[in-house]
Chain A
Amino acid sequence: MSAQQTNGSQHSTSANGSAAADNVLLDVKNLQKWFPITAGFFRRTIGHVKAVDDISFQVLQGETVGLVGESGCGKTTAGRCILRAYDLTGGQVLFQDHDGKMVDLGPLNNNEMKPYRQQVRMIFQDPFNSLNPRMPVSDIVGDPLKINKVAAGKELEDRVAALLARVGLRPEYMRRYPHAFSGGERQRIGIARALALDPRLVVADEAVSALDVSVRAQILNLIKDLQEEFNLTYLFVSHDLSVIEYICDRVVVMYVGKIVEVAETEELFAQPFHPYTEALLSAVPNPDPRMRQQKSRIVLEGDVADPANPPSGCYFHPRCRYVQDQCSLETPELREIAPGHYAACHFAEELTLTGVTASGELG
C-alpha cells in the first residue's frame, strides 16, 4: 500500500492505487449503491439490490479506465454514482479539483455539484433516447454552455458550430432536430454536448454499443482523437471486451456489484488472474473462422447471480470451474497478485488461467 500524500487530502489511497497519488483524478473508495426492494401498501423495504457493493478504484489523469462486466454487474450504476446521477448508499467519490484538492462528490447537493458537473460529463449509450427530440441541435449542444453561463448569443452559436465541426458534423445542420440524423450522427451530437464544457473526466456508458458495426469504428476513433486533443480522462463502461481492449489503458472487471479484477489492459487480457475474467475472455467470439478449432471455449454454467440474493462466499463460485470448499465459505478480498494487478480470488496465485494471446494479423 502506498499511502502517498495527496495534495491536502487526508485520505490514504485505496488498495489498488499504486500509482503516484497526485496524478489521481478520480478516487472511488468503498462505493456502495443499494436499491431498496419494497413491497406492500406502505412500501416497506424488504431487502436491497446491492447493485454496487463496496468497490474501490482509481482513475489517473489522462488514462482510459474500462469498467467491464455482464448486464446487472453494476457497472452502469457505478458510472452513474460517480456522475452523481444517483445518491450514494456509502463510500466516497473523490475528484481532483482544478486546484489539486480532492473533493468528495458523494455528500454534495445539487447546487454544490454544479461546478463539478462541468468537469465530469457523460456520453450516453442510446443515441435516440439521450437527445431531446423536441430541441434543435443548437440547443442540445448549447444548453450546457447557457446553463453554466459560459457563453451566450453569438459566441454561443460560434462555440456550438466549432464543437459540431470538431466531432465531424456540418455546423449548418445546427438548426436541425435529432430526428434528421442517423444513430452515428446522433452519437456525435452527444459527444459534442459532453465536450461543450471542457470536461476533465468523461464517463462513457456503452457509448458505442447501440451503433452499427461500420459506424462503431468511426466513433471509437473519434473518442480516441478527442482524448489526445483535449487531454481527457475516460471512464469507459462497456460489456464489449474487444472495444475495451482497443480503447482502455486499465480495466476493472465487475461481477454482481463487486470488483473481481483490476489490471493494465495488456496484462489482464494476456494473463487474467480471476476465473471469471478468463471465462469472459473465452466467451468472446473470434472473428476468424480458422481459430474455431484451436480454441477451447469455456462455457459457463447457469446465469449471473441475483444481486438481491447473492450466493455465499465468492459470488462467482456456483459457476466457477475451479471451485473449492473455501470458495463458498469465505468472501475473497481484492488483493495485489502482481504489481498493479489485483484479483479477488482465493487461488489467484495457484491457478494458471489462459488469456488472449496476441494472434497475428489476418491474411
Chain B
Amino acid sequence: MAVTDAKTLPPETVSPRAADAEIESSVSVASQWQLMWWKFRKHRAAMAGGVVTLIIYAIAIFVEFLSPSSPGVIRADYTWAPPQQLHFFRQTENGMRWDPYVNGYRVEIDPEALRRTFVIDEEQIVDVGFFVRGETYKMWGLWESDLHLIGSTDEEVPVYFLGADRMGRDLLSSMIYGTRVSMSIGLLGVFLSFFLGILLGGISGFYGGTVDNLIQRIIEFIRSIPTIPLWMGLAAALPTDWPPLRIYFGITIILSFIGWTGLARVVRGRFLSLRTEDFVMAARLDGASELTTIWRHMVPSFFSHIIASLTLSIPGMILAETSLSFLGLGLRRPVVSWGVLLQEAQNIRSVATAPWLLIPGLAVLVAVLALNFLGDGLRDAADPYNR
C-alpha cells in the first residue's frame, strides 16, 4: 500500500510572507490586551470618557487637598451666599497683573420678605491664592496638613466659588468630598455585585440543571421587584443610630443586592456559550481538568466582557445612591455625597433662591456619561477577534 516513502516527500511548506513578516509581526504576536487597546484607542468618545473618568477618580483621591475648606464647616453668616467668580488678573495702573481674587459680599434686605440676601460687591476684594494654608485636615487619615490647592489667603474670610447652602457650607468643597463617596460607592458596590455575580452566574452556567434553574428563578424574582420600594424598605431597615460609615456600607450592600443579577446573567451566558466552543472541548480532550479548563480557557475569554459590563454598571450604582440619598433614605450628613447635596435642592424655595444648589446634578451627569462612554468603548473592544 505504501508506495511512496513519506520521508522523501517534502512537507508542503507554507510560503513565508517574507517581506511582510517583519511589518506584520507586531500584530501577529500581539496578545488579547494589546489588540483590545488598539481597538479601544480608535473609539474617540470612549477615550474622552476614559480621561474624564480618570480625572474624576483623581479628584476623589485628593479630596482633602483639592477642596478649599471642609464640607462640614457651618458659617451662619453666609447662608445661601451666591457663587463668587474667580478673577485671575487685577486691573492696575500699569495693565493687568496676575493676582487672583474674588469679589466680596454685601448684605441686602429684601424689602418684601424682609430677608437678608447676599449680593456680590464689586468694591470688595478678597485675595485668593494657590497652595495656601487653611484648615488642617488629615490626609487619607494618615498625616496632618493644612495645604489647600486654592483658598482665601485670609482664613477669617471664606470664599464660595460655587456658592453656599442654607447653613453657609461651601458647595464646592462639599461636591469635591461628595465625589469620593459617590464614586467609591459605585466602585465598591460593583465589586460586591461582581463577586456575587461571578460566583452565582458561574455556578449557574457551569453546573446547569436544577442549580441553574433555581438561580435563574431567584434572579427573575429579584428583578421583578420594583427597585425604589425595595431600596426604601431595605434602607428603612438600617438602624438610625448607626454611625455614618456603617450606613455607607449598608447602602452599598443594598445596592449590590440588586446589581449582581445583571452580571450573573452575563457570566452565565458566557459560560454556556463557551462550554460549546471547540477550543474548550479541545482543552478537555487534551486531558485538562475542569479547573484548568475554566481558568486557562474560559475565564480569559470572558474577562474582558466582564470588565466592560462592570464599567457599564458603575453609573447605575452612582445613580442608585444618588436617588436613595435624594429621597432621604440613603446617606446623611455629615457624610456628603452628590445625592446628599441634591437633597438640599429639593424644595422649590431653595432652588428659587439658590439655583447653584443644582450643580451637583451636573457632576452626576458628567460622571455617568463618562463612565457610559468608557464602558461602551470597552465593550466594543472586548472581543478583538470578531471581525
* A interface residues with partner B (beta carbon < 8 Å): 42-43, 83, 85, 110, 113-114, 117-118, 121-122, 124-126, 129-134, 136, 143-144, 147-148, 165-170, 173, 175-177, 179-180, 184-185, 188, 193, 218, 221-222, 225-226, 228-229
Contact = CB atoms under 8 A, between A and B. Distances in A.
Which 4 pairs from chain A and chain B are nearest by CB?
A180-B28, A130-B278, A144-B286, A129-B278
Interface stretch (B1-9, B232-240, B250-258, B309-317): B1-9
B111 interface: no
Interface string B1-23: 01010110101111010000000
Contact of B14 (A114, A170, A176): A170
27 contacts: A122-B285, A124-B282, A129-B277, A129-B278, A129-B279, A132-B301, A133-B32, A133-B279, A134-B32, A136-B31, A143-B288, A143-B296, A144-B287, A148-B287, A167-B11, A170-B13, A170-B16, A175-B29, A176-B28, A176-B29, A177-B31, A179-B27, A179-B28, A179-B35, A180-B29, A188-B14, A222-B11
B281 interface: yes
B385 interface: yes
B39 interface: no
A177 B29 contact: yes
A105 B278 CA distance: 21
B14 A177 contact: no
A228 B11 contact: no
Contact of B279 (A132, A136, A168, A177): A132
A193 B7 contact: no
Given A177-B29, A185-B14, A147 B286 contact: yes
B297 interface: yes
A175 B21 CA distance: 13
B307 interface: no
Given A43-B213, A168-B13, A228-B6, A85 B284 contact: yes
A121 B35 CA distance: 32
Given A170-B16, A180-B29, 19 more contacts: A117-B285, A117-B286, A117-B287, A122-B285, A129-B278, A130-B282, A132-B301, A134-B31, A134-B300, A147-B286, A166-B11, A173-B28, A176-B29, A177-B28, A177-B29, A177-B30, A179-B27, A185-B14, A193-B286
Contacts of A188: 14
A118 B30 CA distance: 31
A148 B25 CA distance: 31
A114 B290 CA distance: 13
Contacts of B283: 132, 143
A113 B287 CA distance: 8
A131 B4 CA distance: 32
B218 to A, nearest CB: 14
Contacts of B144: none
Contact of B287 (A43, A114, A167): A114
- Of residues B209, B279, B284, which shows the largest number of chain A Cβ atoms within 10 Å of its Cβ? B279
A173 to B, nearest CB: 8
A134 B11 contact: no
B292 interface: yes
A170 B18 CA distance: 12
B112 interface: no
A12 B180 CA distance: 77
B278 to A, nearest CB: 4
A35 to B, nearest CB: 13
B133 to A, nearest CB: 53
B93 interface: no
Contacts of B241: none
Interface string B376-387: 000000000100
A133 B13 CA distance: 23
Given A43-B213, A134-B300, A228 B287 contact: no
Interface string B219-230: 000000000000
A19 to B, nearest CB: 15
Contacts of B28: 173, 176-177, 179-180
B24 interface: yes
Contacts of B24: 180
Given A121-B285, A185-B14, A133 B278 contact: no
Contact of A169 (B4, B14, B30, B31): B14
Contacts of B14: 168-170, 184-185, 188
A134 B24 CA distance: 18
A43 B209 CA distance: 9
B278 A124 contact: yes
Nearest to A166: B11
B182 to A, nearest CB: 35
B37 to A, nearest CB: 14
Contacts of A148: 286-287
B282 A193 contact: yes
B12 A218 contact: yes
A85 B281 contact: yes
A144 B35 CA distance: 26
A83 B281 CA distance: 11
A179 B284 CA distance: 22
Contacts of A147: 286-288, 292
Contacts of A170: 13-14, 16
A185 B16 CA distance: 11
Contacts of B4: 228
Nearest to A230: B6
Interface string B270-308: 000000011101111111111010001100110000000
A165 B16 CA distance: 13
Nearest to A170: B16
